[in-house]
Chains A and B, each alone.
Chain A
Amino acid sequence: MVEGVRAYRLIAGMWIRSTMAYRASFAMTTLGNFLATVFDFVTIMLMFGHVDALGGYSLPETALLYGMAATAFGLADLLLGSLDRIGERVRDGTFDTLLVRPVPVLVQVAADRFALRRVGRIIQGLMVLGYALVVLDIDWTPLKVLLVPLAVVSGGAFFGAVYVGGSVVQFFAQDAAQVQNSFTYGGQTLLQYPPSVFARELVRGVTFVVPLAFVSWLPALYVLGREYPVALPEWVAFLSPLVAAGCGLLAGLAWRAGLRAYRSTGS
């Protein structure tokens, strides 16, 4: 584990140094990444230019959902976003070179082409989150104060598990990277809107089947003191770390099984 983290740091550091060789390009792409996510929130602001509430939620309330989901996804995207290129590596055969190196394969793929510019997404998420926390009139308790960062970090871990799980699929279906986007980018898009917007079945699905709701909906609704559309006890909001750990474990097992079953395409 410690060895893996060290290897990740070394590989990521190498990529950061190489990106820094073209500083102007780095500045431009970081700004671009930041702007791409800004447009996401601008869209929501434009919507609220026409209405006062969406699904019964105000703009600051929606911003809280958005900020938590975007920051959580941003963390996973920064650390593990490169995993979505694994199908490409399997296809062109460069995946095999990773197998012979004395460093965990997952670490190598995750740190490969580490893109520091992806912090743009985290910065934007934190800015929206900050705006929400300043504007909203929340009845703060110690538990609520604790819950926000806890949920964001757990959410990051959950999205990380999705990235790992999705990369296993790519072992077998090499050009299906798009499916992963449905759960990562799609998941974030879903979570940035209030749950009351969606059909009850869909909300149930992302609570019990693909537990996306634990990233932002459940914790944020606890903080806001609002009711979740699916009846659940209040303490469920604090389960995010457990859910993330469970998903992480499953993804880890899937990764091992996938790696063992991997057959090279040859050259």
Chain B
Amino acid sequence: MRVYAVVAAGGFRRHATYRMATMAGIFTNTVFGFIIAYTYTALWAERPDLGGYDTAQALTYVWLGQALLMTCSLMGGGFENELMERIRTGDIAIDLYRPADLQCWYLAGDLGRAAFNFLGRGVVPMTIGAFAFDLALPVSPWTWLAFLVSLALGVVVSFAVRFLVALAAFWLMDGAGVLQISFLTGLFFSGLLLPLNLFPGLLGEVARALPWSAFLQVPADVFLGERTGWDLVGALAFQAGWALVLLSTGRVLQSVATRRVVVQGG
């Protein structure tokens, strides 16, 4: 267990090294936050209470999207490129004979990465957004706590999806296609472009049931106080359920894949 804590701390520190990149990222998140916030203002001016949100909630959703973009890797990014490269080059063999489990190792690193991105690239744009716009921030400390739990679950589900994507490299020569599909589904089905409750009919129902909704839509609804009581329990169970299913699938796939590894001497 201690080893994973060290790996997580390493993941945190590793991303904390890129100070200039973090500043640049904060700038970009803030710019996009402003642009999208204005378009949402126009949208909600036409239809107040669209999707069950008032204007303040809609604007909060915008800034949450920017804050969680990197935290929950909504558009991918993080360890999966590196893991794919290691699988392609055969360096994966080194990971496999470490006295630690492959999946847990990368999960720990990714949790560290997420923690840094939450503090580094989440809190600052959100604060700027709160100064510039009238946001609906939770009053009760319990809502904040529930949000943090939901956020952590979101990161785990996001990790589980990206781990599966990376493992695809064991079977594919070139992972660019899968990475791109993963990028697209994350972009659209996490609710980053538009809250999933604004998706019409069947598309909306499917989108809300898919694991990507656990990345942003569910934590955002918890933050906005849209999920309380048993509904909140249901929301967290939804996330935990997907985490469990996807992590177990990753586990099975990992053991199938590692049996395929042939280490060449040299």
Contact = CB atoms under 8 A, between A and B. Distances in A.
B32 A39 contact: no
Interface in B174-219: 174, 176-177, 180-181, 183-184, 187-188, 193-194, 198-200
B39 A175 contact: no
A43 B194 contact: yes
B50 interface: yes
A177 B24 contact: yes
B187 A39 contact: yes
Given A46-B199, A173-B20, A32 B180 contact: yes
A157 to B, nearest CB: 22
Interface residues of A, number: 40
Contact of A50 (B32, B43, B174): B43
B20 A186 contact: no
Which one of A42, A47, A186 has the highest number of Cβ atoms from chain B below 10 Å of its Cβ? A47
A189 B194 CA distance: 14
Interface in A148-207: 173-179, 181-182, 186, 189-190, 193, 196-199, 202
A174 B34 CA distance: 25
B44 to A, nearest CB: 9
Contacts of A197: 38-39, 41-42
A29 interface: yes
Interface residues of B, number: 35
A235 interface: no
Given A50-B43, A181-B28, A189-B35, A28 B180 contact: yes
Contacts of B198: 46-47, 49-50
A55 interface: yes
A181 B183 CA distance: 17
A103 interface: no
A54 interface: yes
Nearest to B17: A175
Interface string A115-150: 000000000000000000000000000000000000
A58 interface: no
B199 to A, nearest CB: 7
Contacts of B188: 39, 42
A189 B177 contact: no
A80 to B, nearest CB: 19
A43 B196 CA distance: 11
Interface string A3-37: 00000000000000000001011001100110110
B31 interface: yes
Interface of A: 22, 24-25, 28-29, 32-33, 35-36, 39-40, 42-43, 46-47, 49-55, 173-179, 181-182, 186, 189-190, 193, 196-199, 202
Given A43-B194, A177-B24, A202-B34, 12 more contacts: A29-B177, A33-B180, A39-B187, A46-B199, A49-B200, A50-B46, A51-B43, A177-B21, A179-B24, A179-B28, A182-B31, A193-B35
5 contacts: A175-B20, A176-B20, A177-B24, A182-B32, A202-B34
